[in-house]
Every structure is written in C-alpha cells, then in structure tokens.
Structure 1
Amino acid sequence: MAKSAITPNNVHPFPAIRPGFKLVPARIGRGEQKQIVYVECPLWCTEDHVDNFQYDLGDITHYSDMSGVTVPTMTSDYDRATWSARIASDPTASEPGLRAAHILVDDETPDEARLTPEMAEELADELVGFAAAIRHAARTARLHNASQSVPQQRGEAV
C-alpha cells in the first residue's frame, strides 16, 4: 500500500498570526473575478478590506480610524481648512518608511504628509503649543471686545 501524500510529517498547518496582527478577509480581483482571501492585518487597522476591494494582494494598504480638526470662518458658511491624521502602512511599498506604520496627515489637497512616529510626536507638541496660543488669543480678543461693547460674532456664546 502506498503511503498517503499527507502524513503528520509533511502537513504544514497555517502559520501562527504574528503578535499585533489579526486575520481578516479581503476581496481582490478584477471584474467578475473577485475572490475573498485572508490577510494579516495590524490590530489598529479599521479598513474594510472586503468593501474597499483591491485588484491585487499587493495593493492592500492598512489604515486606522481618522481623527481631525476643521477650521471654520466667521466670513463664510464654508470651512477654511481641515486636517486629518491616521496610521497607515503599505506592506508592499518599495520605500521602507511606507511599509512601516507611520502617520498620514492630510489637508484635503493632493499632497499629504507621511510622518515617522517621532516626527508625529514633534508635530503634536507643536500643535499643543499652537492650541495654547489660539486659546490665549481668543481670551484676549474676548476681553477686548467686552471692554469695547463689540457685538457678538457668529459662533460666540452670549
């Protein structure tokens, strides 16, 4: 009797998922040739790799939830600026920095900033200082307006 091609010695179970990752479904393919495969995905990734399908496995990019800030203006109903940030990783990018988890900062223009974790922490420190300066300017303007009996502006509490 011939020995079975599958024996305990040559069975290769699926490798363990690396720490910090989960196994998730992803839809890949073109036209009617789409299929579901399972890929390792960082725990921080919230991208739906099924709904946001890609043509090839190499096109899958990982993204976290986005956080952001919008700058309104009292002279228009339209916001003046929007910044958003999220973690990103492109596992098959040719540039090592893009393969690594990094912070993507976007301002709704075609250009986006890609920051190392260290660069992102430096930017965050600067933004904390900028926020304090804006708060100080707001208090100063409010006190000035109160002393001059200036009418309330759009967006200000009465």
Structure 2
Amino acid sequence: MRRAIRMSTLAQAAAAALVPEPRIVPASVNGRQVFIECPSWCVTDHVAENERYLEDVEHSGELFDLVIPGDSSGYRLLAHARLGADLFAPDPADRQPVVVVDDGAKEHRLTPAEALQHADRLIAHGEQMRELARRAAA
C-alpha cells in the first residue's frame, strides 16, 4: 500500500512538472500598458487587443477546427474549440479554464468534465460516420 501511495505522489509531481507556470505579460487596457498573469496555453496578443477595461481581458488558446468537405474553398467549418479563461469574472468558478466550442452562432463554455463527455460523443459520431461510409461504398 505504501508503494502505491508513493508512486501516486511521484506521478502527481511529474504531471505538475509538465504544466508550465503562468507568465507575466504586457497588456494594453484603454491605451495604457499593464502587466497581467497569463496562462502558458494562452496565445492572445493582449497588447493588440487593447481592451477598454481590465475586466474585459480574456485568455484564449489555440483553435482546433472541425471541418467537412465543402464548397470551392475545399472545407466548411462546423465548429472550433479552444481553451479559454476569464480570470476577472465575478464568480470564482467562472475563472477556471474551460473548453470553448464555437459553432458560428454561439460560444459554448464547457467544463473539463463536459468537454470529455462531448469528446466521447464526437468519437461515437465518428465511428457511426465511418460505418455509414462503409455502407455507402458497398
């Protein structure tokens, strides 16, 4: 039992070491330069954004697109997903990173647990689509 606890502690320490620390970056707020804490996954240029209020500064990760074959451009965007965080939200629960899924009409902010459920549904959908393709090709 002691060994399992030690391995678990070591695994937790190793996982923590893989997560880069947040960094302090410049941001432009109402034309003035300030410095904010920024998560390591954030790709937003906070200087270029030039938000009016500090509370409007949000963090955004890299976009991952879900596309299907489409018109002359080759692909049609169905949705994209990214990490997001509103570190100045009034409710502390809203300050935690979420997975933001944007379908072009609305942004859906998913907790990590909700995002995992959604990912499972996407995998199941992909398997069903693969079966449909097999049937269509037969």
Q: Provide TM-score, normalisation by structure 2.
A: 0.77
Task: Quote the offset at 1:97 in angstroms.
Answer: 3.5
Contact 2:24 2:37 in 1 (8 A): yes
Q: Distance in 2 between matches of 1:82 and 1:52?
A: 26
Spell out, residue by residue over 1:61-112, the C-alpha distance to the aligned partner (whole angstroms, 9 max, x if none).
0000110112335xx5586651111111111112334211011111001x22
Give the partner amino acid of 1:136. Answer: E
2:68 matches 1:71: yes
More strand by percentage: 2
Q: 1:45 aligns with which of 42, 46, 49?
A: 42
Give the share of equivalent positions with the same residue, in percent: 34
Task: Quote the offset at 1:21 in angstroms.
Answer: 0.6
Contact 2:68 2:76 in 1 (8 A): yes
Name the residue aligned to 2:99: 103
Contact 1:28 1:57 in 2 (8 A): yes
CA RMSD of aligned residues (A): 1.9
Name the residue aligned to 2:25: 24
Task: Quote the offset at 1:45 in angstroms.
Answer: 0.6
2:78 matches 1:90: no
2:115 matches 1:120: yes
Contact 2:65 2:77 in 1 (8 A): no
Spell out, residue by residue over 1:15-48, the C-alpha distance to the aligned partner (whole angstroms, 9 max, x if none).
xxxx73101111111xxxx122111100111111
Q: Distance in 2 between matches of 1:57 and 1:116?
A: 24
Q: 1:55 aligns with which of 38, 52, 64?
A: 52
Can you give the 5+ residue segments of structure 1 that lack an aligned partner in the other structure?
A: 1-18, 144-158
Q: Provide TM-score, normalisation by structure 1.
A: 0.68
